[in-house]
Structure 1
């Protein structure tokens, strides 16, 4: 079982390259991942019979709650854990190569938004910041570091400091990225209306039981109204994946070349 080079993954530049490598990755996982191998056996699927992308069986997300899903005999560097209440069994992603995750999210960010150093990056992620082992917090923290701006950092849901920072950055006409969980951004927009001309507001989803559930369209309309913006950006990621998709307008997501969505 030969390890697949990260350079090949992040060097994908065509649909055909993606198809070929995805099938190769499938064979690699089918041979070396005991959980996935057992799942294929249960389905009665022979790996050598898979010849197209739409034939590849997806491992159910529930398996990440009950099994250690790891390929090969590598030790993990970190465990990312999904959000949830203390009574819930959460998904756990055992990551054996943290550099792979870092390369994935930094490359995707640069692809869609350019160099992080262009921005002051503010992260309003209270529900995640209060928990350990969040892949979103890890990503935000690394992007904040790459930003290099002295005003970049994390904020909880006490908005005084965040509002002061946003107003200062607006006065300086500093390009800013405000990355936030949906319920916290709604609280900000509803109670502390702002006029943001130099700021990208990017929601990561998640009401976490704090607010009423809204469609993405409803959420964006309320955020645009409260923050006096024409559009809201979205980030999509999950604990069980190491890649993100981004939507700059109308909730239409685009993924990097090494990520594809199949239904």
Structure 2
């Protein structure tokens, strides 16, 4: 079995700052990490590999040259191969253009049985790339996967909903996007780190994957970010004490009257 996992290098959002004058992200000095949901997707692929020897796991991403570091992490976790789509022609791609490039990369890899991706990236939160890849490859798809079971030439998954879940069966090949409830990603191992150091990350250009350059990059992107900003901090809240519901209600009314809200 061959499994392709679409991953992304993202800035650590716990340390993100916004330039108040330009409204853009300050990326200088901000560490990059493997996107959280993508780590869950990779873990599921590696779990399949553990249970079915002979399975090949390929990590695929699109990004700048420094994304190699994230792919090295994927290799250290257990991926067998890693491919970076990196080209100035791909720069500035929105989700639609990104999915065009990734779909072209997947077609070049070929002979795959399953495609995993994270539900969404923490730097964009669009949750669009995975489903768009499935549409462009003409494959069945399920998003928000919280449970996974592999059968012969099929998978059974549970898809998280706001008020429960639905259980679905898909034939292979298919595309699945993972959420954090699916599993707990493993750490890099010492043997994995040593293996990753000896494994070369493949770098493919737009020409290598044969993608039409009119459907990738900034000019081909139908959407763009107009402005990013940090919401103004809210005032501190106040907890109302009381031993009984009636006392709580009376104390709440007292505080509201003090503030002339009622």
> Which TM-score applies when normalising by structure 2?
0.31
Q: Which has the larger radius of gyration?
A: 2
Higher strand share: 2
> Which TM-score applies when normalising by structure 1?
0.31
